Every structure is written in structure tokens, then in C-alpha cells.
Amino acid sequence: MQPLTRVEGRAIPLGLKNVDTDIIIPAKWLKTISREGLGRGAFETIRSEPGNIFDDPAYTGANILIAGDNFGCGSSREHAAWALGDLGLRVVIAPSFSDIFSGNAVKNGILPVVLPQEAVDRLLEVARAGEPITVDLEDQTVTTTYQDRFTFDLDPFRRHCLLNGLDEVGLTMARGEAIGGFEADRTAAQPWLMRGTAA
């Protein structure tokens, strides 16, 4: 995974609340066995409208998306994160995110930034003015050329993984002994739990 420390660039001021993962990437695009190329289907319904924000030349090359409450709600499809990444987006700023989406985003090097609605409203204005926004994960700040400065929280483990581009599977496989110990205790105490399909 590509590390993420600081992202500076233009932002797409989407602003809508409850942007579900069917909006981010409709189901017909999920028939792939690859993680690549999903940007083609990203926000397909919105992009079918002439003059939509994603095809507005003012936001060409944007690497930040600003949205409303509950971004990424609905389906667990990681294709949503893959599609955003394929569009070149590295940061999504919103007042809140769905739990599953924010986890998927981090695992794909995309930073979900939670800020209060007032801060998001201000950033939407800045984005609409075409001014760049800077997101610094080291300092946990979002700043603008107008001297705005907002700080955000992020779970320390997620921050650590993003800053260092870490692969969680590799990290956990290094804990194989602890997992083996848990399994041995479990097998002794509640063997039926460990049988699964072999029951």
C-alpha cells in the first residue's frame, strides 16, 4: 500500500449526505475479479447528468472529495474504495463515515477525515472557489490558503498503517503464535466451536 503523509490539491465539493456505496460504484461494476479500473464506473449515475461535478474541468486532477454525513453507507463492497482510488482520490472529508467504508478506505491508502459540519461547509466553499486544500496526516490538520486550520482525530493504528503503507495481513501473520495459543485453548475448552464445516 502506498504511504500517505500529506495531500495537497483541489477538492471536489460533492457535499451530499448518505452517499451510499451503490452511488459510488453500482453493482454491475462488481462483476470483476480485479481491483483495477473501477474509476470508469465511479459515481456513474451522477456522471450521467450533463455538467456534473465530477466532469467539471474546474476539478480536474482533484485528489480530495468533500461529502456530507454518513459517507459510504450501505454495502461492504471494497470496490467503492478501489473506485475512488482509481479516480485519483486520496482523501475524503465528511462529518461522518460508515464503519465498513472507512476501514476499507484506510486499507487502500485513502484517508477518511472526520470534521464537524461547520468545518466541512467551510471547506466546501474553499473547494468551490477552486482553491487547494492541504491535508497533513502527521499533524492531523486540514488547512487552506485562506488560513483555515482544522484538526481531526484518527485511530492511532489506522494512522500508523497509512503513514507507513503497512499491510495488515503481514502484521497479523507475524502474530501467528498468539493466534495459535488462542486456538489451542479454544479447542480444549469448546471443541465444537472449532469444527465449522467439519462438524
Could you tell me how many residues of this chain bind other proteins (CB under 8 A)? Answer: 61
Question: Per CB under 8 A, does 41 bind other proteins?
Answer: no
Query: Cβ closer to other proteins: 3 or 149?
Result: 3
Q: Taking CB under 8 A as the criterion, which residues in 144-163 touch other proteins?
A: 155-157, 160
Which CB sits closer to other proteins, 90 or 107? 107
Should residue 114 be labelled a site residue for other proteins when binding is judged by CB under 8 A?
no
Distance in Å, CB of 190 to other proteins, minimum: 7
Q: What residues have CB less than 8 Å from 76, skipping those under 6 apart? A: 21, 100, 104
Q: Does 68 bind other proteins (CB under 8 A)?
A: yes
Q: Indicate whether 30 belongs to the interface with other proteins (CB under 8 A).
A: yes
Segment near other proteins (CB under 8 A); pick from 2-10, 50-58, 96-104, 130-138: 96-104
Minimum CB–partner distance for residue 60 and other proteins (Å) = 25
69 binds other proteins (CB under 8 A): yes
Q: Can you give the chain as a three-state secondary structure string?
A: CCCCCEEEECEEECCCCCCEHHHHCCHHHHCCCCCCCHHHHCCHHHHCCCCCHHHCHHHCCCCEEECCCCECECCCCCHHHHHHHHCCCCEEEECCECHHHHHHHHCCCCEEEECCHHHHHHHHHHHHCCCCEEEECCCCEEEECCCCEEECCCCHHHHHHHHHCCCHHHHHHCCHHHHHHHHHHHHHHCHHHHCHHHC
Residue whose CB is less far from other proteins, 8 or 155: 155
Q: Give residue 196's identity as a one-letter amino acid code.
A: G
- Which residues of this protein are in contact with other proteins, per CB under 8 A? 15-18, 20, 22-23, 26-28, 30-35, 45, 68-70, 73-78, 81, 96, 98-100, 103-104, 107-108, 155-157, 160, 168-169, 171-173, 175-176, 178-179, 182-183, 186, 190-199
